[in-house]
Structure 1
Amino acid sequence: MRLSSLRLRLVVVFAVVALVSAVAVSGIAYWINRDAVLTRAQNAALNDFRESLGENAGALPRAPACDAVRGAADTMADSTQRYEVVLTVEERDGSVCAATSAPEFALGDVPEALRAAVARKRPLEGANKAEYHMYWQRITLRGEPYLVGGAKVIGGGPTGYMFKSLAPERDDLNSLAWSLAIATALALIGAALLAQAAATTVLRPVQRLGDAARRLGEGKLDTRLRVSGSDELAELSRTFNDAAAALEKRVAELSAREESSRRFVADMSHELRTPMTAITAVTEVLEEEVDSLDPMIAPAVELVVSETRRLNDLVENLMEVTRFDAGTARLVLDDVDVADQVTACIDARAWLDAVELDADRGIVARLDPRRLDVILANLIGNALKHGGSPVRVSVRTHESASGGDELVVRVADNGPGIPEEVLPHVFDRFYKASASRPRSEGSGLGLSIAQENAHVHGGEITAENAPGGGAVFTLRLPRDAARLASDPNRDADGGSGVDGEIDENDENGGDTEAGSGRTARNGTTDDEEGAR
């Protein structure tokens, strides 16, 4: 299982450390106490057995009667150490007498290795001052622990064996083991509780910091943390507050600058429309009289006329961009036969011979027809200018990822395609692919405005290169934008407004838009200059 929670990791670490420490301490304590208990019981029993063997068995005559040996065994067993005795001696007739103080113990219960060690005679040399020595061994006999010790009386006396039960020591050690196990469990529980308390103490400020960072990311720049104490977490909270204050100040400055820039563009565009109306009227008169003008003057007049139209288109585009930035762009919805709409857009701009349309009649969508015309005019005009004819326009419908019906319009040209380094920027405002041609017929706003109009509908435009060559622009729109138009939450980010609300236009009631308005006259539309 993946330990993704910091609290869980702290508890697990504390518990593991506590468990390892408690087990180690308990194990060491158990083995020390076990060795001490067994050694104490063993030494006491063996010392007592040695003295008793010397006093009782050593007093027996050589080759004593078996009854006398049995009596000595009974006497030796009558000890405070509570052990049983087996004495063996060779009688006069050469037989071996094995006398025991308890019938449940016999000479056969003594391990053979221990008997051999007790009977072994050692030479007297150096540090060895006795021929025979005492030996002992801990065994399990009939399921019970025993200490078995043996020694031979020096001088030809009997051999004695002691059976000391270690059951009391075993019970004491079991009680000790249970006590240590309970102590280990309590230590583990205590460590878990301590870890929980420590995690709460440490993680509560971290959690507050995470919540504050989340609110800050949501745009609540006035978020601050309450600082208490002088530890590392308090210092972190102070740093967060300082960073949030600096960010709030910086965003306020940038917002003020952006608002000032938007207001400047809007005011400038609005103020330019009145003189542009007069200039346009003059240029139209000059255009009508160009044939009667002096041949030396006619080229200058044509240049003035074309540049005036270009300037007028730029002003209209800037006005529309300002509406998008200000969030005042609105949808005026109507039921649109998409095939008829595409045909009307192509026919109005005299593109019928250069465009191939693949669209079934009867595909009806509830959209803003004027904004859809702007999108189509920019996409098709851009394809004609940069890709060349024939341009293929296909209209399809299918179910979108969100579950509703979706309108898909693809515009494919027959050109070389879009350079890979340009693809990410084709919808940027005023983007020019070639820095050597900064001035051109287009303003560099066409595709950007088309994308904004798609966003207003809740759709998207994407650009890519076809495998066989040429660029493909794909427009995806919901078939019914009424749901978006009635959504009040979309107004804040430049979305649509209430169905039927009229889009703001100039004082003269003109219905000009980027990519339209002048296109019927010259057969082109504003595009993303330098996109190919």
Structure 2
Amino acid sequence: MTAATEHSGRIRGWASGMLRWTSLRLRLVVVFALVSLTAATSASAIAYWLNRDAVLTRTQNAALNDFRESLERSVGSLPVQPRCDRLQDAAGRLADTTQHYEVVLIGEQRDGTRCAAQSDPGLFTLAAVPDSLRAAVNKKRPADEGDGLPYHLYWQRVTLDGDPYLVGGTRVIGGGPTGYMLKSLASERDDLNSLAWSLGIATALALVGSALLAQAAASTVLRPVQRLGEAARRLGEGKLDTRLRVSGTDELADLARTFNKTAESLEERVEDLSSREAASRRFVADMSHELRTPLTAITAVTEVLEDEADNLDEMISPAVHLVVTETRRLNNLVENLMEVTRFDAGTARLVLDDVDVADMVTACVDARAWLDAVELDAERGIVARLDPRRLDVILANLIGNAIKHGGSPVRVSVRTVDDGSPAGELVVEIRDHGPGIPEDVLPHVFDRFYKASASRPRSEGSGLGLSIALENAHIHGGRITAANWRAEEAREAGAAGEPGANDGGCRTGGAMFTLRLPMDASPLASGANGENRREER
């Protein structure tokens, strides 16, 4: 085996495994996982945003309150127009707090120049303050709005060089400098990232746990369902004593009880039907055997009457011929019924011999005086190991049926085909030139006692001939099919686009029975094999 073959085999195995898992179990696991993932993700997202809001609000409130108080303490002692050096000292004092923020103070000196004092010029300057925040800080509100104060403390979160910061600012009421502060939120960001990772890990663990829980739940739920499926399969195989063990009071237990009741009812019904069928078979068999003795006597009498028919009165002679004919029909019916009962009971056996099929067909036709009505297309030397008596029954029924309903000439062709078995397959085709078999009758031509036909005259036989022929073919391991050969040829010609395919129905009709038998029926000669073939039918 090559590497490519092994790889393709593994792929097929994986695919078949996936197909087996495309079931209720997989759907339960997927649904559990999706529900758990949705719930865990929603809970984690809500927890993250609540914690984020709480952390940022607490940090910014602490920083802004500290900045406001420090600004009031440090700048309140300054003059309205302080010198730049005093502003610088105030900025340094403001930044020296536990909140660790940087400060920018903007004031106007006595000479009218503006001074910008920074606690750390390399980190926080006035340029880092958003324009919108500076406009809000410097905007004076009317005295009749809000709390009546002209200036308020405003804040905004910004990102500088990829790091988050809090920027706040206000103007000292009553005149004085404007102060801005810059508070780093990097530690809060790190804490929130750690929280997000923790929530993500918790979500993943919840997903894994839900999958395991779903697997356990699916096993608990599906195990009874699997047992029910196995029991149903055994019941379908004919094991009518199959029952389920019932435990609990839930819906699955009710289902098991219902199954057991159904199986019990079905077993009782089948046993009743089987007993009735067996009784019917015994009745037919017993009746056939009981009729043989009086029929033997009646047949002997009718033979004597038939020999003396020419010497009888002209009024009595037709009645004698009728009695002789009906006695023979009754005798044939009894023989056919006995043969049917042997098939039904499984007691029919093969007695095999090497048979030249061409000689067999010729002998069958000659024995029944059909030579003038049959055209034989068979090469001598086609030898098959079959039961000669049963093959003669098959041929006699098929050829006789063709002559009776289709008229002569009846063409019988014999050939062999290679069906993959060691000996090959024997194919015998019997064609007539009659009106054919109606399409609605074709599925029933081998049914017992079925004689209805719209296009053929009503049969005077027992209605068992074709059924017995089919049974004899089955016991050999073969089969018989029926068709209308002209219609088949017309359809093939139409499919091939040949001229004359549609000729107004002139090419329809003509019944054809095809017999297919193994060239060697030895594997089916034992009684067990013959019974198996009967059960397969």
Q: TM-score range by the shorter chain?
A: 0.7 to 0.9
- What secondary structure is seen at the aligned counterpart in 2 of 1:305? helix
- Aligned match of 1:521: none
- Aligned match of 2:105: 87
In structure 2, relative to structure 1, the CA distance for the partners of 1:185 and 1:473 (3 Å cut) is same
Offset at 1:403? 8.4
In structure 2, relative to structure 1, the CA distance for the partners of 1:114 and 1:485 (3 Å cut) is same
Does structure 1 conserve the Cα–Cα contact (< 8 Å) formed by 2:484 and 2:511?
A: yes
- What secondary structure is seen at the aligned counterpart in 2 of 1:331? coil
In structure 2, relative to structure 1, the CA distance for the partners of 1:439 and 1:122 (3 Å cut) is closer
| C-alpha distance in structure 1 between counterparts of 2:520 and 2:222, whole Å | 48
Offset at 1:247? 1.2
Relative to the length of structure 2, the TM-score reads 0.87
Residue 8 of structure 1 aligns to which amino acid in structure 2?
L
C-alpha distance after superposition, 1:346-374 (max 9, x if no partner): 22222222222333333332211221111
Offset at 1:90? 2.8
- Aligned match of 1:60: 78
Offset at 1:197? 1.6
- Aligned match of 2:62: 44
- Aligned match of 2:328: 309
- Aligned match of 1:165: 184
Superposed CA RMSD in Å reads 2.3
Residue 512 of structure 2 aligns to which amino acid in structure 1?
V
Does structure 2 conserve the Cα–Cα contact (< 8 Å) formed by 1:146 and 1:163?
A: yes
Q: 2:27 aligns with which of 1, 9, 13?
A: 9
- What secondary structure is seen at the aligned counterpart in 2 of 1:366? strand
Offset at 1:113? 2.3
| C-alpha distance in structure 1 between counterparts of 2:368 and 2:473, whole Å | 21
| C-alpha distance in structure 2 between counterparts of 1:145 and 1:25, whole Å | 26
| C-alpha distance in structure 2 between counterparts of 1:474 and 1:439, whole Å | 23
- Aligned match of 2:95: 77
Does structure 2 conserve the Cα–Cα contact (< 8 Å) formed by 1:326 and 1:494?
A: no
- Aligned match of 1:478: 518
| C-alpha distance in structure 2 between counterparts of 1:247 and 1:164, whole Å | 84
Does structure 2 conserve the Cα–Cα contact (< 8 Å) formed by 1:405 and 1:478?
A: yes
- Aligned match of 1:524: none
Q: 1:429 aligns with which of 444, 448, 469?
A: 448
C-alpha distance after superposition, 1:139-171 (max 9, x if no partner): 111221111111122333212111111112112
- What secondary structure is seen at the aligned counterpart in 2 of 1:105? coil
In structure 2, relative to structure 1, the CA distance for the partners of 1:495 and 1:201 (3 Å cut) is closer
Counterpart mapping for 1:250-269 below 5 A: 250-269=269-288
1:488 paired with 2:488, answer no
- Aligned match of 1:109: 128
1:239 paired with 2:258, answer yes
Q: Bigger shift: 316-325 or 117-126? A: 117-126
Offset at 1:219? 1.4
Offset at 1:341? 2.0
Aligned-residue sequence identity (percent) comes to: 75
- Aligned match of 1:406: 425
| C-alpha distance in structure 2 between counterparts of 1:438 and 1:319, whole Å | 27
C-alpha distance after superposition, 1:152-206 (max 9, x if no partner): 2233321211111111211221122122112212221221122112111111111
Q: Larger RCO: Structure 1 or Structure 2 (Cα < 8 Å, ≥ 6 residues apart)?
A: 1
Does structure 2 conserve the Cα–Cα contact (< 8 Å) formed by 1:89 and 1:97?
A: yes
- Aligned match of 1:199: 218
C-alpha distance after superposition, 1:257-316 (max 9, x if no partner): 111111111111112222222222222222122112222211111111111111110111
C-alpha distance after superposition, 1:454-491 (max 9, x if no partner): 11011111122231322222212222211222483442
Does structure 2 conserve the Cα–Cα contact (< 8 Å) formed by 1:327 and 1:493?
A: no
- Aligned match of 1:368: 387
Residue 347 of structure 1 aligns to which amino acid in structure 2?
D
- What secondary structure is seen at the aligned counterpart in 1 of 2:371? coil
Offset at 1:439? 8.5
1:337 paired with 2:352, answer no
- What secondary structure is seen at the aligned counterpart in 1 of 2:44? helix
Q: 2:45 aligns with which of 11, 14, 27?
A: 27
Residue 415 of structure 2 aligns to which amino acid in structure 1?
R
Q: Which runs of 5+ in 2 are unaligned?
A: 1-17, 488-506
Residue 272 of structure 2 aligns to which amino acid in structure 1?
E
In structure 2, relative to structure 1, the CA distance for the partners of 1:56 and 1:402 (3 Å cut) is farther
- What secondary structure is seen at the aligned counterpart in 2 of 1:414? coil
How many residues of Structure 1 are paired with residues of Structure 2 in the alignment?
Answer: 495
In structure 2, relative to structure 1, the CA distance for the partners of 1:59 and 1:395 (3 Å cut) is farther
Q: Bigger shift: 395-404 or 300-309? A: 395-404
Counterpart mapping for 1:314-333 below 5 A: 314-333=333-352
C-alpha distance after superposition, 1:384-420 (max 9, x if no partner): 1112222222223323377872222222221112122
Offset at 1:86? 1.4
Does structure 2 conserve the Cα–Cα contact (< 8 Å) formed by 1:330 and 1:495?
A: no
Offset at 1:425? 1.3
- Aligned match of 1:522: none
Residue 284 of structure 1 aligns to which amino acid in structure 2?
E
Offset at 1:336? 2.2
Q: Bigger shift: 120-129 or 334-343? A: 120-129
- What secondary structure is seen at the aligned counterpart in 2 of 1:49? helix
Offset at 1:94? 4.1
Offset at 1:320? 0.4
| C-alpha distance in structure 2 between counterparts of 1:456 and 1:63, whole Å | 124
- Aligned match of 1:99: 117
1:216 paired with 2:256, answer no
| C-alpha distance in structure 2 between counterparts of 1:94 and 1:376, whole Å | 132
Does structure 2 conserve the Cα–Cα contact (< 8 Å) formed by 1:89 and 1:98?
A: yes
Q: Bigger shift: 307-316 or 50-59? A: 50-59
Q: Which runs of 5+ in 1 are unaligned?
A: 497-532
Does structure 2 conserve the Cα–Cα contact (< 8 Å) formed by 1:49 and 1:76?
A: yes
Q: Bigger shift: 381-390 or 337-346? A: 337-346
Offset at 1:98? 2.0
In structure 2, relative to structure 1, the CA distance for the partners of 1:399 and 1:88 (3 Å cut) is farther
Relative to the length of structure 1, the TM-score reads 0.88
- Aligned match of 1:508: none
- Aligned match of 1:528: none
Residue 339 of structure 1 aligns to which amino acid in structure 2?
A
| C-alpha distance in structure 1 between counterparts of 2:482 and 2:448, whole Å | 15
Offset at 1:438? 12
Does structure 1 conserve the Cα–Cα contact (< 8 Å) formed by 2:153 and 2:170?
A: yes
| C-alpha distance in structure 2 between counterparts of 1:90 and 1:402, whole Å | 113
| C-alpha distance in structure 2 between counterparts of 1:307 and 1:134, whole Å | 125
| C-alpha distance in structure 1 between counterparts of 2:166 and 2:418, whole Å | 88
Residue 476 of structure 1 aligns to which amino acid in structure 2?
R
- Aligned match of 2:494: none
Residue 520 of structure 2 aligns to which amino acid in structure 1?
D
| C-alpha distance in structure 1 between counterparts of 2:68 and 2:134, whole Å | 16
